[in-house]
């Protein structure tokens, strides 16, 4: 099968739409001038809709991990007690950043593939609620699980009302409904190369009023990531340091597409692509990792069957221009992942399922030609019918 470009089905970086690619090639401007100020203001205004916040969304030039580091160092002081609620490799990373900067981190563990359980969090906080902050992962990219942030945050607000809630929203913000203010979240972070359809390089971050007060008291060392500087300079339409201007052009162009599609349209497209991916993989006999009720709309993880030579199988997949992601951390070599976020369309997913079906037949796995693609298409119809009404505080 010949494609002009590979079908990049990894959970970021994601494909760039033509207008985004062209935006990245535009001429530089003075980052201390009025054109830049307008760009920064436009991105902030459009980002707020997807964050579900009235707070300003700040842009920092960094990978998503830099955004997580900024969240930690601006909210906390060394020796602060922090409750981490990891559900996979990215939750581990968030906890590790806090430890590296000297926080006293307690971990509430969840089996990988399952979502963090509000009842377990309730039980933990009922016994010990003396935390300065709770670290949550919105969408755990390593397992393909979306955690119930609203329910988890409600438990924290009830039992540890003073605790700050820090959320890694890197891999699903912009793709699924989110309501930072309505859910009472204090710091939310995302990254340009995930749902935002742009190249890597920018991290977006918003802080609640409480978090800004905390930022004034926080004593962890910070310089490049001092968000007080970012806020001060943003008021003058600038960033403290020279930003990745080309990536900002791209984020701006991506947001323009998302605004035209409407948030509800963007969310429905992700839900449909996710449903098609899950149904197609299951029809091919792959077992999914995520507990079904919390399966992610941006990435799907599946177990590699024990009797399958994955290296050879994936070699044939790659030869057909389909690029999948492997497992991370303790799931390395055990799972593969299909990304379906950003500029993803149903034909990308049906094409991917078609390739997997073809390769599965080569490997003498029980398949019937067209059956997996048909299952994927049926799942889309069901997803469209089951489309939920917009929830309170969530953009429509």
Ligand X SMILES: *Cc1c(COP(=O)(O)O)cnc(C)c1O
Instruction: Select the span of 16-24, 164-172, 235-243, 360-368 touching ligand X (CB under 6 A).
Output: 164-172
Question: What is the nearest approach in angstroms of ligand X to the Cβ of residue 297?
Answer: 13
State which of residues 168, 186, 252, 357 lies at the interface with ligand X (CB under 6 A).
168
Q: Angle at CA 344, nearest 5°, toward 339 and 350?
A: 80
> Cβ(203)–Cβ(63) under 8 Å?
yes
Instruction: Select the span of 39-47, 137-145, 302-310, 382-390 touching ligand X (CB under 6 A).
Output: 137-145
Q: How many CB atoms lie within 10 A of CB 374?
A: 16
Q: Which residues contact 165 (CB under 8 A, 6 or more apart)?
A: 133, 134, 136, 153, 156, 157, 184, 185, 186, 187
Q: Please provide the DSSP assignment of 165-196 as one string.
A: EEEE-TTTBTTB---TTTTT-SEEEEETTTTT
Question: What is the nearest approach in angstroms of ligand X to the Cβ of residue 277?
Answer: 17
Question: Does 86 interact with ligand X (rule: CB under 6 A)?
Answer: no
Which residues share a beta bridge with 166?
A: 135, 187
Three-state secondary structure call for residue 219: coil
Question: What is the nearest approach in angstroms of ligand X to the Cβ of residue 22?
Answer: 23
Question: Does 141 interact with ligand X (rule: CB under 6 A)?
Answer: yes
In the window 51-70, what residues touch ligand X (CB under 6 A)? Answer: 63-65
Question: What is the nearest approach in angstroms of ligand X to the Cβ of residue 203?
Answer: 7
Closest C-alpha among 117, 129, 46, 115 to residue 81: 129
Question: Does 112 interact with ligand X (rule: CB under 6 A)?
Answer: no
Which residues share a beta bridge with 112?
A: 114
Instruction: Select the span of 47-55, 136-144, 222-230, 354-362 touching ligand X (CB under 6 A).
Output: 136-144
What is the pattern of x (binds ligand X, CB under 6 A) and - over residues 288-317?
Answer: ------------------------------
Question: Does 170 interact with ligand X (rule: CB under 6 A)?
Answer: yes
Instruction: Select the span of 111-119, 166-174, 335-343, 359-367 touching ligand X (CB under 6 A).
Output: 166-174
- CA-CA-CA-CA dihedral for 66, 70, 76, 77, to nearest 10: 80
What is the pattern of x (binds ligand X, CB under 6 A) and - over residues 314-353?
Answer: ----------------------------------------
Question: What is the nearest approach in angstroms of ligand X to the Cβ of residue 218?
Answer: 21
Q: Which residues contact 84 (CB under 8 A, 6 or more apart)?
A: 91, 94, 95, 98, 105, 106, 107, 108, 134, 135
Which residues share a beta bridge with 83?
A: 106, 134
Instruction: Select the span of 133-141, 218-226, 241-249, 361-369 touching ligand X (CB under 6 A).
Output: 133-141
Question: What is the nearest approach in angstroms of ligand X to the Cβ of residue 181?
Answer: 21
Three-state secondary structure call for residue 112: strand
Interacting residues with ligand X (CB under 6 A) = 12, 63-65, 90, 137, 139, 141, 168, 170-171, 191, 200
């Amino acid at each position: 099968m010949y494609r002009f470009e590979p079908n990049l089905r990894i959970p970021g970086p994601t494909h760039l739409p033509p207008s985004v690619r062209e935006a990245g090639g535009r001429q530089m401007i003075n980052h201390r001038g009025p054109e830049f100020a307008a760009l920064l203001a436009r991105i902030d205004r459009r980002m707020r809709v997807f964050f579900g916040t009235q707070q300003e969304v700040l842009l920092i030039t960094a990978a998503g991990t830099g955004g997580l580091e900024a969240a930690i160092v601006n909210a906390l002081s060394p020796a602060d007690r922090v409750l981490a609620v990891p559900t996979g490799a990215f939750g581990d990373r968030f906890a590790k950043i806090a430890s590296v900067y000297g926080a006293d981190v307690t971990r509430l563990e969840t089996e990988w593939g399952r979502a963090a359980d509000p009842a377990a969090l309730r039980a933990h906080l009922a016994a010990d609620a003396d935390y300065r902050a709770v670290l949550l992962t919105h969408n755990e990219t390593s397992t393909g699980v979306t955690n119930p942030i609203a329910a988890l945050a409600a438990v924290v607000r009830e039992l540890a009302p003073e605790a700050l809630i820090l959320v890694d929203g890197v891999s699903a913000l912009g793709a699924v409904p989110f309501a930072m203010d309505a859910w009472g979240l204090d710091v939310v972070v995302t990254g340009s190369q995930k749902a935002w359809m742009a190249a890597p390089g920018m991290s977006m971050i918003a802080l609640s009023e409480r978090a800004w007060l905390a930022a004034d008291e926080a004593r962890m060392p910070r310089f490049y990531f001092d968000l007080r500087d970012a806020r001060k300079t943003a008021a003058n339409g600038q960033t403290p340091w020279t930003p990745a201007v080309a990536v900002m052009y791209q984020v701006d162009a991506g947001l323009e597409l998302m605004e035209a599609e409407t948030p509800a349209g963007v969310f429905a497209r992700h839900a449909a692509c996710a449903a098609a991916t899950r149904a197609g993989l299951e029809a091919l006999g792959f077992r999914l990792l995520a507990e079904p009720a919390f399966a992610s709309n941006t990435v799907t993880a599946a177990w590699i069957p024990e009797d399958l030579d994955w290296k050879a199988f994936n070699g044939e997949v790659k030869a057909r221009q389909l690029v999948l992601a492997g497992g991370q951390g303790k799931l390395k070599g055990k799972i593969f992942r299909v990304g379906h976020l950003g500029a993803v369309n149903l034909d990308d997913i049906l094409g991917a399922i078609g390739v997997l079906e073809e390769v599965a037949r080569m490997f003498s796995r029980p398949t019937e030609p067209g059956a997996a693609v048909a299952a994927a298409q049926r799942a889309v119809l069901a997803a469209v019918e089951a489309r939920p009404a917009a929830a309170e505080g969530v953009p429509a």
